[in-house]
A and B are shown apart, each in its own frame.
Chain A
Amino acid sequence: MEDQEVQKYFGTILEKETHVSAGVAAIRTLMEVIRQSKCATVQELVTNLKKAIDSMKNANLPVAVIMSCCELFLRFITLVGLDGGSFNECKEVMLSRGNLFLHNLDEARGKIVKFSSKFILDGSKVLTHSRSRVVLQTLYQAFKQGKRFEVFITISSPDNSGKIMYKELTTAGIPCTLILDSAIGYVMEQIDFIMVGAEGVLESGGIVNKVGTYTMAVCAKEMKKPFYVLAESFKFSRLFPLNQQDLPAEYKVGIFVAFIQICIKCYFQYTSAIRKTDLKSAHPLVDYTPPSYITLLFTDLGILTPSAVSDELIRLYL
């Protein structure tokens, strides 16, 4: 598959199935690459896959998820015992492993929902930031279990994704309040805990998420409110930023564009702006929340403390 084909395939999945996260879409694209490839050796196939990953990275979407997910996928399907048998057999093995991997991805969200919905108690007030599919599912699940709780959602400008989340929750019948991004400090004292999603979970145990998460975390720490992060394990990535500045530039740019793509209205106006903008003078649309601000991470591997993330990563990669 050529680069453009890959991007097109990837794009159509995301457009047609809005509930699918970018990571899953990327894996499905890679599976398609394997299926269609005419390579004769494993080596060649892997290089092709890597090329495809690179082209997806440039597709103006959250890079954090795509990168971590694809890296894990590559490890999962190629690195363990492919010797023996013809190339076609190997390909079959890879495809079946890929399917297993996808299956695990699909199940991940369900597991997290199961773990985290227990933490929502009757009468609790939850603060969340921007829009996260896994947080949404968790809140649905807790509501289904008959728990009565209230949700505060930040608007989270500039793409106002909080508004979408607000609409989704109100249609489900969950009482919620939309607040300004700058009102985080005001509502912090009345809420019980914070639940956010994550773009990526890093080696340090910290997370990369929509800008404003860090502000919220610092505020929560000061007011001693628990800060929970809900993230699937395919978002784990082997990066260790020391501070905001140290976050790789591709993470910043990629996501900057990605969020804007969601609100198509301002798409053209923004992309042209980004191409010109120097990141030093502007700020990206993601920030890094250091592990010391995070209470717990709910993942499909279990409920982890931030320091356990690194242990899991060591287990996965070394």
Chain B
Amino acid sequence: MKSFFCFLLSLLSLSLYILSSTDGLMKTIAQYRFKTASFLKSSRYHYGDLYGISFLPSYKNEIWPKKAFIKLDLYNIQRSVNLYCICDSYLWSFVKSGSVFCGVKSYKFTRWGYDGTMEVKLDTSQVNVLLIEVAERFFRIKSKTNYIDKIKFIKNTSQSSYGNSPKVVVTADLSMNKEELMKFYNTINNTKLNQNLEFNLFDYTIFSCLKEMKAWLNYKLFGRVPQEISVLDNCPYLFLSETVDPLSDQSSFKFLPDEEVSDIVLRLNSVYEYYKNKGFKYVIISIIPNPISIVYPFYKTYNDIIRRVQNHPGLIMPMIKIYDKFDSIGNILYLPSDSHWSLTGYYIWLNEFNKYLSTVETVKN
């Protein structure tokens, strides 16, 4: 009995270790646990990602109002556009299929920082649109690096092959190459191991009250919140610290000289030219404002990066100009306990983008 118990315990521990070290398995489990309604449900994102980091009880809000999707008249347009998108969680967590886009026949996306290079086989006889969606907090950093390494173009050999899965080039080398070795190394030395173990062991609704009590105690006594989060006086919103700290590149308040704006515009223009030359008929960028830029822009001196870029006389690349609209509507576009927009914010953006797509159709027809 004692041996059996020891064996069982060892087996459970080993399984937990293997599970927490394997990214693929963790991804599957996370997807299941975010969706399920059983006791296995993860409470991390249910009330907003910032709540999931801070567990401050006063910011516990339901973030997914069960509203029906608003169908606009624009959707009646014939679907003939191939939409490619380089996006981040603003779009990715809201857009599950291309059907929400007006006139879009097929939709393919890759995420900054998560997905690898998107393989694209462009059929230039069709209308191909590339949308580059980037959150304001990453815009400045990305403008210093490369936008053009997210898409790998595969030469088109036959017409209308769009929609087939991209071809994967396999080398004949059967020995373990460097990439495989790294993959193996990453499995046994997974940098996310602690995070994954915490998710597997403690990320259950049953523990939420303890986490909230700790968060409340530390906030009330010591004014302490997790370093990733900022709580501002007289503001009912949580913010990502990176967007608030004027020393951070992601901040809305980091000083932005005119020369840097010009450099950003030059970079965007070259990106625009690059993708146009590769065969995209339309290339457009959309910068989603940081929540603090809309909710509390007067906290410090706002660098106004979005308006300064969109109004720059040298900018060739078309842009979805949503900043002014967002600015006039204000708080309701963002969620108090999440780093993303609300459903309203998303709809307003979607409407603006669909208006653009409807003009694309007109031009083609």
Do A and B pair up? The answer is no
User: Which B positions have Cβ atoms within 8 angstroms of A?
Assistant: none
